[in-house]
Amino acid sequence: MISDVVRFREELDKANPWWKGGKVPELENRNLIERGLSGLITEEMGTKRGIIITGPRRAGKTILMKQTIRKLLEKTETRNMLYYSLDDPTLSLFSDSPVKDVLDYFLENIAKTGRKFIFLDEVQSAKDWYKWVKSFYDSHDDIKFFLSGSSSLALQREANQYLRGRTIDFELFQLSFAEFLELHGIKTRVAHSMEDYEKIPGMDFIEMKKLHGKVKEKFNEYLLVGGFPEWSEIRNPERWFMRLVNDIPKKAIYEDIARLFEIKNPKALESVLAFIAANQSRILSYEKISDVVHVDRNTIVNYLEYLKASYIIIEVLKHAGVKEQIKAMKKFLVADQGVRNAILKDYEIRENNIGFIIENVIGVSLFFYCKRRGASLTYLKQNGEIDFIVKNKCEIPIEVKYKQKIGEKEIHHLSSFIDKNRLPSGIVVTKDILQKKGKIIYIPCWLFLLMLSNEA
């Protein structure tokens, strides 16, 4: 029930300025790009089923919703679009059931005849949101829902139970390297993608040098600040790293995870994340993490699931059968390099940390690539280590060697794996080597990231 209708309406008016002005002021005079996910959402616009967008805080879910609203304004009655962020507690001051009351008030007092588009941001913040969305979805044929959230675990758990068959899920991650460049005014794509990586050594040398000169500075910047879009507006490292810590891990841990999963000791969860950040790209056991942060193994397993579901860390399983994968140690990556650097107060790229940084950035980009393609990402630790193995139509082993010179002994395990499994080739991600030598394709890191970006 709404206790103060006037103030309730005022809040809705503030959140939906296009009702009066026909525009989305938040998008005006801002440095924004259209994300790859936007096209997939457009394809779904004509269907009834709702759209669920999950992804980390600050990845751009709200902006993506507002950009969708701006497109709809071109051909839709302005008062038939409702946006509200359930992360904002203000409506709770005037309503004991914000989702129900927002939807009821909108349909009864604002919406006009025709199809309605309802955008509920950070929907997991509202109690029983899924029950009301299901109820309105089932009782109104002219409503299209757009729902977003920063915890895939929280949304999927409820959506699978209450909204099965009624929604389609999308994930919005941080900027790929190509998107990062585009946001900074550098529009560049390479001809080849991960699908045809074997052709990349044929790239014209002069063309490659020109491209490298164009992106080199931004590549180093990307390694340092990470892939969250707001960096292009802040451009102040001190403010940026402080914002990253406060807006991403701290809010995710103390507001999202602690509340959703009733964590009694969020400080311990923060310690787990700090340990992962300090040991990114390393292969770790649950027992090792437990010993360091002084939390029992079962709790560690749960904490890691929460961090994964909140898009803060990524877990890479061993290249093995399911039973062995469950028992084996895992490789952990921090899902954004800027967040990792902010947590550890590591504000510069140095010779003694560049290797781990590059491996983490490559691993994260491969993980996003695999998510988009329905592929799997694993590592191999057996008589030597292979950093990553991508399995889609076939297996592609990948080693990260950020060096100017790479000896054959350093890639012996990669060559052996290729021969043993009769694979056509493998990849070594390098500092600046571009060549094909036998079955090994050497590709510079920045170029490899652009190839992966081609799949966005």
Does pLDDT of 351 surpass 90?
Answer: no
Phi–psi pair at 232, nearest 5 degrees: -65, -20
Average pLDDT of 89-99?
89
Tokens of 69: 């609203």
Amino acid (1-letter code) at residue 406: I
Does pLDDT of 456 surpass 60?
Answer: no
- pTM score: 0.92
Does pLDDT of 155 surpass 50?
Answer: yes
Residue with tokens 């940026």: 240
Average pLDDT of 244-254?
89
Higher pLDDT, 277 or 353: 277
90: exposed, middle or buried (Cβ count in 10 Å: 0-12, 13-18, 19+): middle
User: How far apart (Å, rounded) are the C-alpha atoms in residues 431 and 29?
Assistant: 37
Does pLDDT of 455 surpass 60?
Answer: no
pLDDT tens across 163-172, in order?
Answer: 989 999 999 9
Predicted local distance difference test score (pLDDT) of residue 353: 85
Higher pLDDT, 189 or 110: 110
Domain 5-172 classification at class level: alpha beta
Phi–psi pair at 263, nearest 5 degrees: -75, 125
Predicted local distance difference test score (pLDDT) of residue 202: 77
Average pLDDT of 139-153?
90
DSSP states along 197-237: GGGGGGS-HHHHHHHHHHHHHHHHHHHHH-S-TTHHHH--H
Does pLDDT of 196 surpass 90?
Answer: no
63: exposed, middle or buried (Cβ count in 10 Å: 0-12, 13-18, 19+): buried
User: How far apart (Å, rounded) are the C-alpha atoms in residues 86 and 211?
Assistant: 44
CA distances from 332 to 128, 207, 315, 430 (A): 33, 36, 5, 21
Q: What's the pLDDT band for 389 if we cut at 50, 70, 90?
A: very high
What are the sequence ranges of the domains in the chain?
Answer: 5-172, 178-453
Residue with tokens 């129900």: 100
pLDDT tens across 270-328, in order?
Answer: 999 999 999 999 999 999 999 999 999 999 999 999 999 889 999 999 999 999 999 99
Q: Where are the beta strands (DSSP E) in 11-65?
A: 50-54
Q: Give percent above pLDDT 90 in the chain.
A: 73
